[in-house]
């Protein structure tokens, strides 16, 4: 998404106010953070739904 944002902001640099470009770029980093967290939550949910068969002789 960062490359797409860069292409858009570069293509319209003369016509888009700098403040709007900053908003678009900040949204890009927030979206990346959201998608990473969403994947982590999905993985944790899958782990929680997994029945764990613990061996009887665990050496801690």
Q: Does the model's pTM come out above 0.85? A: no
> What number is the average pLDDT over the span 16-29?
79
Give yes or no for residue 1 having a pLDDT over 80.
no
Give yes or no for residue 59 having a pLDDT over 80.
no
> What number is the average pLDDT over the span 6-31?
72
Count of domains observed in the chain: 1
23: tokens are: 């908003």
* Domain assignment of residue 30, given as a range: 1-6+17-44
Cβ partners under 8 Å of residue 16, min gap 6: 9
What single-letter DSSP state applies at residue 29? H
Residue 50 lies in a domain: no
Q: How far apart are CA 27 and CA 21, in angstroms?
A: 10
Residue 57 lies in a domain: no
Residue 11 lies in a domain: no
Q: How far apart are CA 1 and CA 6, in angstroms?
A: 9
Give yes or no for residue 10 having a pLDDT over 70.
no
11: tokens are: 């293509």
1 and 28 Cβ atoms separated by less than 8 Å: yes
């Amino acid at each position: 998404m960062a490359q797409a944002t860069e292409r858009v902001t570069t293509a319209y640099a003369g016509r888009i106010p700098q403040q709007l470009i900053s908003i678009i770029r900040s949204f890009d980093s927030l979206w990346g953070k959201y998608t990473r967290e969403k994947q982590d939550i999905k993985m944790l949910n899958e782990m929680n739904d997994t029945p764990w068969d613990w061996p009887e002789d665990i050496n801690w």
